[in-house]
A and B are shown apart, each in its own frame.
Chain A
Amino acid sequence: MATIAELGIRYRSGEATPTGVVRAYLERIEALNPQVRAYFTVTRDTALAQAEAAEKRLKAGAPLGLLDGIPLAIKDVICTKGIRTACGSKILEPFVPPYDATVIARLGAAGAIILGKTNMDEFAMGSSTENSAFFPTRNPWDLGRVPGGSSGGSAAAVAADLALGALGSDTGGSIRQPAAFCGTVGLKPTYGRVSRYGLVAFASSLDQIGPFARDVRGAALILQAIAGHDPLDSTSTEVPVPDYTAALGRGIEGLRVGVPAEYFIEGMDPEVEAAVRAAIDVLKGLGARTEKVSLPHTDYALAAYYLIAPAEASSNLARYDGVKYGYRAAGGKDLIQMYGRTRAEGFGAEVKRRIMLGTYALSAGYYEAYYGKAQRVRTLVRRDFQQAFERVDLLVCPTAPSVAFKLGDKEDPLQMYLCDVFTIPVNLAGLPGLSLPGGFTATGLPIGLQLIGKPFDEATLLSAAYAYEQVTPWHTRAPELA
Chain B
Amino acid sequence: MSRAADYEDVIGLEVHAQLLTRSKMFCGCPTTFGGAPNSQTCPICQGMPGVLPVINRRAVEFAMRTALALHCTINSGCRFARKHYYYPDMPKNYQISQYEEPLAVEGWLEIEVGGQVKRIGIQRVHLEEDVGKLVHEGTLETARASLVDFNRSGVPLMEIVSKPDIRSPEEAAVYFKALRAILIYLGVCDGNMEEGSLRCDTNVSIRPRGSSELGTKVEVKNLNSFKNVQQATAYEGERQRMAITSGQTIVQETRLWEADRSYTLSMRSKEYAHDYRYFPEPDLVPLKVEQRWADQLRTTLPELPVERQRRFVSQYGLPAYDADLLTQSRALADYYEAAVREYPKPKVVSNWVMSELLRELLGDDEAAISKSPIPPRNLARLLALIEDGTISGKIAKDVFEKMYRSGEDAETIVRREGLVQVADAGALGAVVGQVLASNPGAVEDWKKGKKQSLGFLVGQVMKATQGKANPALVNQLLLERLPKEP
**Which B residues lie within 8 Å of A92 (CB)?**
49
9-residue interface stretch from B63-71, B86-94, B367-375 = B86-94
- Our pick among A199, A234, A315 for the contact of B54 (Cβ within 8 Å) is A234
Q: Contacts A204-B282, A234-B55 known; A323 to B148 CB distance under 8 Å?
A: yes
With an 8 A cutoff between CB atoms, is B221 at the interface? Answer: no
**Which residue from B48, B51, B92, B277 sits with its C-beta under 8 Å from A364?**
B277
**Chain B minimum-CB-distance residue to A85:** B49
CA distance A78 to B93 in the complex (A): 21
Task: Decide if B301 is an interface residue (CB 8 Å cutoff).
Answer: no
Q: Are B48 and A315 in contact (CB under 8 A)?
A: no
Interface check A215, CB cutoff 8 A:
no
Q: A99-B43, A234-B55, A364-B275 are in contact. Are A205 and B282 (CB under 8 A)?
A: yes
Least Cβ–Cβ distance between B54 and chain A, in angstroms = 6
Given contacts A315-B84, A339-B86, contact A362 B279 (CB under 8 A): yes
Q: Which of B17-66 contact A (CB under 8 A)?
A: 43, 46-55
Residue from A197, A234, A320 within 8 A of B51 (CB atoms): A197
In the complex the two chains form, what is the Cα distance from A319 to B52 in whole Å? 13
Asked if B49 contacts A197 (CB within 8 A), the reply is no
Interface: B163 (CB within 8 A) = no
Say whether, besides A232-B54, A234-B284, A362-B279, A321 and B48 are in contact (CB < 8 Å): no
By a CB distance below 8 angstroms, the chain B residues around A101 are 50
Question: Which residues from A are CB-within-8-Å of B48?
Answer: 79, 97-99, 324-325
- Contact: A363 with B277, CB < 8 Å? yes
For residue A468, CB closer than 8 A to chain B, the reply is no
Residue B82 interfacial (CB < 8 Å): yes
Shortest beta-carbon distance from A312 to chain B in Å: 6
Please tell me if the beta carbons of A318 and B53 are within 8 angstroms of each other in the complex. Answer: no
Q: Is the CB of B279 within 8 A of A318?
A: no
Nearest chain A CB to B357 CB, angstrom units: 47
**Selected contact of A363 from candidates B49, B275, B285, CB within 8 Å:** B275
A11 near B: Cβ within 8 Å?
A: no
Which residues of chain B come closer than 8 Å to A314, judged between CB atoms? 277
Closest Cβ of chain B to A366, distance in Å, is 10
At the interface, yes or no: B283 with Cβ under 8 Å from chain A? yes
CB distance from B7 to the nearest CB of A (A): 31
Q: How far is the CA of A198 from the CA of B43 in the complex (A)?
A: 10
Given contacts A99-B48, A200-B49, A323-B148, contact A315 B283 (CB under 8 A): no
CB neighbours (8 Å) of A325 from chain B are 48-49
Min CB distance, A131 to chain B, in Å? 18
Cβ contacts A185-196/B at 8 Å (1 or 0 each): 000000000001
Say which residue of B50, B86, B92, B279 sits within 8 Å of A97 (CB atoms): B50
User: B44 — nearest CB in chain A belongs to which residue?
Assistant: A232
Given A205-B282, A319-B92, A363-B275: A234 and B148 interface contact (C-beta under 8 Å): no
Report Cα–Cα, A205/B284, bound state, in Å.
10
Contacts of B284 in A (CB 8 A): 234-235
Give Cα A84 to B479, complex, Å: 96
A315 touches B94 (CB 8 A): yes
**Interfacial chain A residues near B51, Cβ < 8 Å:** 197-198
User: With A319-B91, A359-B277 in contact, is A235–B49 under 8 Å at CB?
Assistant: no
* Contact across chains for A319 and B47 when beta carbons are under 8 A apart: yes
* CA distance in complex: A78, B283 (Å): 17
Q: Is the CB of A312 within 8 A of B282?
A: yes
0/1 interface trace, chain B 86-117, chain A, CB 8 Å (1 if under): 10100111100000000000000000000000
Please tell me if the beta carbons of A87 and B49 are within 8 angstroms of each other in the complex. yes
Kindly state the separation between the CA atoms of A233 and B55 in the bound complex, as whole angstroms. Answer: 10
Which residues of chain A have C-beta atoms less than 8 A from B278's C-beta? 362
Residue among A200, A234, A362 with most chain B CB within 10 A: A234
A440 proximal to B (CB < 8 A):
no
- How far is A318 from B53 in the complex, measured between Cα atoms in Å? 16
Choice from A87, A231, A311 contacting B279 with Cβ under 8 Å: A311
Min Cβ gap A72→B in Å is: 18
Contact assessment for A324 and B46 in the assembled complex, using a CB-CB cutoff below 8 Å: yes
Point out the residues of chain B lying under 8 angstroms from A306, CB to CB.
none
Scoring A residues 19 to 39 as 1 if CB is less than 8 Å from chain B, else 0, what string do you get? Answer: 000000000000000000000
Q: Which 4 A-B pairs have the closest CB atoms?
A: A318-B93, A204-B282, A362-B277, A205-B282
Contacts from B to A (Cβ < 8 Å): 43, 46-55, 82, 84, 86, 88, 91-94, 148, 275, 277-279, 282-285
A-B contacts, 14 of them at CB < 8 A, read A200-B50, A232-B54, A234-B54, A235-B282, A235-B284, A235-B285, A312-B279, A315-B279, A318-B93, A319-B47, A319-B91, A321-B93, A339-B86, A364-B277
Given contacts A318-B84, A319-B47, A323-B91, 6 further A-B contacts (CB under 8 A): A78-B50, A79-B49, A234-B285, A325-B49, A363-B277, A371-B279
